[in-house]
Amino acid sequence: MWKLENPNFKVLFQNLSDLREPYLDGVNFSAHGNGWCQALSSSLPNLQVLNLSSCFLSGHIHSSLADLHSLSVIHLDGKNLPSPVPEFLADFPNLTFLSLGGCSLYGELSENIFKVSTLFFLNSL
């Protein structure tokens, strides 16, 4: 397992703006707060796959993730993200896979998520 302690996500991804599918599952980022959301959305505007399962991230899911309009996969299982379920999850037009199991999210998924015609896998709270 790779380990990046107190990573600066903005620096890590700053020259990778065309990156679409980074496979970061299993990388121990040891990051806290919502800076990772803001760094991903500002540095990787074409991101299609957000797979951060088995990474040690915590904090809140920041609304800046809504800027990643190309996302088709969101896999955040097992993160310590104690925040309300983001309403914007239903706003990704290409979303096919959404997995949020064990994320400490609270509240209800927007019923609009069931109107996303491309969604074929949903694992929620």
Instruction: Report d(CA 13, CA 35) in Å as an integer.
Output: 13
Summarize pLDDT for 33-45 with one digit per residue, the tens.
677 788 888 888 9
Summarize pLDDT for 59-72 with one digit per residue, the tens.
888 899 999 999 99
What is the layout of strands, in order, in the sheet containing 49-51?
A: 49-51, 73-75, 97-99, 121-123
Instruction: Report d(CA 34, CA 61) in Å as an integer.
Output: 6
Summarize pLDDT for 105-117 with one digit per residue, the tens.
899 989 999 999 9
Looking at the chain, the whole-number percentage of residues with pLDDT higher than 70 is 86
Most confident by average pLDDT, 15-19, 28-32, 50-54: 50-54
Q: Identify which has the larger pLDDT, 108 or 31.
A: 108
- Asked if 39 and 62 count as a contact pair (C-beta separation under 8 A), the reply is no
- Asked if 98 and 118 count as a contact pair (C-beta separation under 8 A), the reply is no
In order of their start, the domains of the chain are: 9-123 (3.80.10.10)
